[in-house]
Each structure stands twice: as C-alpha cells, then as structure tokens.
Amino acid sequence: MDVMPLLPRLHLLRFPVGQAYLWRDGDELTLIDAGPAGSGAAIAGAVAALGRAAGAVRRVVLTHFHEDHAGGAGELAELTGAEVMAHRLEAPVVRGEVPGPPPVFEDWERPLHEQAARLLPKGDFTRPARVTELSDGDVLGFGGGATVLHVPGHTDGSVALHLPCHGVLFTGDTVAASPLDGRVMPGVFNLDRDRTVAAFRRLADLDTEVACFGHGDPVTGRAAEVLRRAARAHDTPPD
C-alpha cells in the first residue's frame, strides 16, 4: 500500500486494486473506504506513521460494497474500534448477510475485470459486525460536515461524500480517472451504466475543488470544471 499526501488534512492510500482516503480533523481521523481484505494492518500502520493511535480512526465510511473498497472494513473495525458506515441498501452486503449483485459487464470490461480479480485476495474475510446505515442527505461529523449523496448506478447503494467547507468530493466508483492518461470518466463494472452516468452528472454539478476517485489519480484543483467537461462528453448529440 502506498500513502500519498494530497492536502494538509488528506492522504491517499493506494492498494494493488483501488484507493482509500484518510481525512483528519484535529486528532480525529475518518477513512473513506477500507481497501481490499487484508489491508487493515497496513492502514493501521499508516495511521501510526502519521503519529496517531489506532483509536483516532473514528469512522470508516464505505462508498459501496465492492471488495476493493469494503474488504478491509471488518479488520479495521477490530483494530481501531471505528464505526463502519454504508448506505442502507449496501449494509446487509457489507455485513455479509446477503451476496452483492454482480456488475452487468460491457464486453470491453470483461478482460479488465479478470485482471483486477486476479489481484484481489480470494475467499471470505472478516466482516464488520455492525454497520451504521446512511441515507441521502445525511450529514456526517467530519470535514466540517460531510454530506452523503446517494448515487445509485455503480451499485444500488453507492454513495459520494461532499465536504462543502473544503470543496472536497469523494466519488467512490461513480467516477474514475484512467490509469493510462488520467482522463476522468464514469467508473467501470457497473450494475447499471446509464444510472452511473446520471449519477456522474449529479456529482459534476457540485462545487468541487478536489475530487477523489475510487480508482485513478485525484484531481487536486478546479475539479468541478474537469468533471463538467467529462460529463458533457456523455451528452447525447442532437439529431
């Protein structure tokens, strides 16, 4: 796992597949996503390297249930005592009570998905026993008030988090940046691609300076302009 500072209060955590983010308010830390299963100890190590005790991690907010984002949540809850939070539609999947619905692949996504699947740990993993259920419009107590946006499409219960005080947006997998050229685009491996594009537009309308994606380099300045330009590329041309 690589750790990269983005802002004085924000670090990017990069895993073999996917990314998580560590936000700091004074002595208190919030994780946005938890990496794949097996990441708990590495994340706790990164917290220690920043000079914080494991117990400083107050909450782990999951953008969605996919294993590259939620796999480490159970281990982290055990290591830190953090509260795990997910949209109410995803919480039963995160707790391991029901399987998550698989993506509906576009043909070109299949080889990409096979590649990603090879990098993820196999078998079952520690699930968080308790998951606080979130809904659209909830405001969470970090980053000066983090608004939960329910953005179904990538999964039914995908959420984004918007920190208006800081102009920071965590998109989960509704938005991604290409590993090849950094191009910003709707995420891949969606349950419903059209709804993902609609959700992408909703996020592009927000006032955002810094946009943090589930995959690919974040945009660290004037992110709203970049997102709006990318959203326009998906407009249907007039007949």
Per CB under 5 A, residues contacting Zn ion are: 18, 66, 68, 173, 214
CA distance 43 to 125: 16
Between residues 9 and 18, which has the closer beta carbon with respect to Zn ion?
18
Shortest distance in whole angstroms from residue 189 CB to Zn ion: 6
C-beta closer to Zn ion: residue 20 or 44: 20
CA distance 125 to 177: 28
Least Å distance between CB 239 and Zn ion? 34
Please say whether the beta carbons of 31 and 43 come within 8 A.
yes
Give least dist CB 187 to Zn ion, A.
6
Contacts of 125 by beta carbon, 8 Å cutoff, 6+ apart: 37, 38, 67, 71, 74, 75
Q: How far is the CB of 56 from Zn ion (least distance, A)?
A: 26
Nearer residue to Zn ion within complex by CB, 35 or 143: 35
Please tell me what DSSP assigns to residue 142. S
Residues 21/69, Cβ–Cβ less than 8 Å? no
Query: How many angstroms separate the most distant Cα atoms in the chain?
Result: 59
By C-beta, is 9 or 157 nearer to Zn ion?
157
Cα–Cα dist 214/120, whole Å: 15
Quickly tell me which residue has 């945009």 as its tokens. Answer: 219
Identify the residue whose tokens are 């080889």: 111
* Phi–psi pair at 85, nearest 5 degrees: -130, 140
Minimum distance of Zn ion from residue 27's CB (angstroms)? 30
Closer residue to Zn ion (CB): 56 or 60:
60
Nearer to Zn ion, 66 or 150 (CB): 66
Rounded least distance, CB 115 to Zn ion, Å: 13
